[in-house]
Each structure stands twice: as C-alpha cells, then as structure tokens.
Amino acid sequence: MRRHAPRRILGVLATATLAFTLFSAAPTAGAVATAGTAASVSAAARPADAAAQPLSTSTPVVFVHGYTGSASNWTTAMSVFRLNGWSSSNLFAYEYNSYGNNITNAQGLATFVNNVKARTGASKVAIVNHSMGGLVSQYYLKVLGGNTSVSHLASIAGANHGTTYAAACLTYTTCQQMYPGSSFIAQITAGDETPGSTAYATWYSACDGVIIPYTSTRLTGATNNNVLCQTHIGYLTDTVVLGQIADFIAS
C-alpha cells in the first residue's frame, strides 16, 4: 500500500457555529502567514527513534486551515516545525474564502503553491491541512493534478469524506460540498484517493466532535493515525501530533 452570509450561521445554530469556528473569520484568499512566537515542545512530541535520525527540513510547508479559519490557526504548528529544524522562510499559510466555493479555493491553492515554489526554488512542497482544508487540498492534488508538486500531504481531522456537521451551514456552497454524499465529495473520493508519488498521512480521533463520522478523515492508501482522544480544535495546539507530522514530512 502506498503511503503515501453574513459571517454568522443562522442564529438558532449559534452553538454549532461556535464549535465549528476556528478562532477567527476567513480573511482575504492567498495571504502568507508570518511566523508565530516560539512555543516549548517536550521531547515526547517526537518518537525516540526519530529523534536519533537526521531530519530533512528543506521542504517548504504550506498550511491550509479549515472552515472559518485563518493563518493564525497555525501559530503553534509553525513553532513546532521551527523547533524541528525548519526555517521560518519555508513555512507558509494559505488563506481562502470559507463561504465561497472549494473549487475556487483549490485553484487558489494551486496558484499559492506555484508562488511558494518560485519563491523558495523548491520543486515540491508539503501540505498540512485541517478540517475543510482537507477538501481544498484533495481537490488540488487529485482533480487539478497538484500531486506532482506535493511531496507529503498531512491531513489533520480532514473532512475528506464529508461531515454531517456541515448541515449547520448549508447556506454556503462550501458546506454543501462538505456534506457527505455531495458531488464534490464523490469527485475527490472516486477511484484512487491518494494519487501520484505523494506520501499521504491522516490523523483522526473518536473525540473529534465535528468530523462526523470521525473516520471520514481516513484516506485509502494513506498512513492513517488513530489518535486516542483529541478534539477538533485541540489538534491545532497538540504538540505531540504536530511533532509527528513534522517527522512524517522530514522522512
């Protein structure tokens, strides 16, 4: 196997909105994140055997947020990657319109990746996504052929096969696309879910609470990591999981 609107949802669904919101509203598409402040990461954030091996940290990393997220979601992740050897100049965050269309968002990601490659001189990037960012990433890699520009794809609680939680925001096209059984989901899951030579890995948990069913994140052909218990938003500050992802990309 390869390893691979208003900006508030309906008032009556305020509780659902709060759980779905990733700390801030979606900003202008294509913005680059600035490196966040340093955070302490314990030795437990990386497996002991990986710590003894040299890491390859020259690959630029593009972070793709989830529904209503922003570059600020990746402050801890960028700190973990820097502490694992990455330069701030190789860490980027793509921002998109959470209320638009994920096809347009994926096209924007394609342009963003090309700009990162031109800026860094790299032939490929790694992508780390969260939540709805999984849909944006999968469409880019599979439908737009972006797998030829991506060495590693790490999906954290990605809505890769949809989530019934999207029923809370079906006013928006992105949420319609995120609902299980949508034509968008059918397109990115038909046939090979992990195309190309890209290494794919996912992290998912029964405690997620937003990706329903929680197994939706898993991709056939990927290394699928079942996290004992982590909430949907909790992943964004989970230095153990983020350290595992840094190791995966450096491998």
Number of Cβ within 10 Å of residue 52's Cβ equals 8
Q: Is 88 a catalytic residue?
A: no
Secondary structure E strands in the chain: 61-64, 91-94, 125-130, 150-156, 199-205, 223-227
Q: Which residues pair with 156 in a beta bridge?
A: 130, 203
Q: Is 208 a catalytic residue?
A: yes
Task: Report the SS3 class of residue 160.
Answer: coil
Which residue of the set 130, 232, 238, 247 is catalytic?
A: 232
Contact 244, 222 (CB under 8 A): no
Q: Is 152 a catalytic residue?
A: no
Which residue of the set 130, 208, 216, 238 is catalytic?
A: 208
Q: Which residues pair with 202 in a beta bridge?
A: 155, 224
Q: Alpha helix locations (H) across 37-101?
A: 48-51, 75-83
Residue type for 61, please? V
* Angle ∠(31,233,21) on CA atoms, nearest 5: 60
Q: How many CA atoms lie within 13 A of 142 on its CB side?
A: 22
Which residue of the set 98, 131, 149, 216 is catalytic?
A: 131
* Greatest C-alpha distance within the chain: 52
Q: Is the dihedral of CA 7, 113, 197, 187 positive or negative?
A: positive
Residues that are catalytic:
131, 208, 232
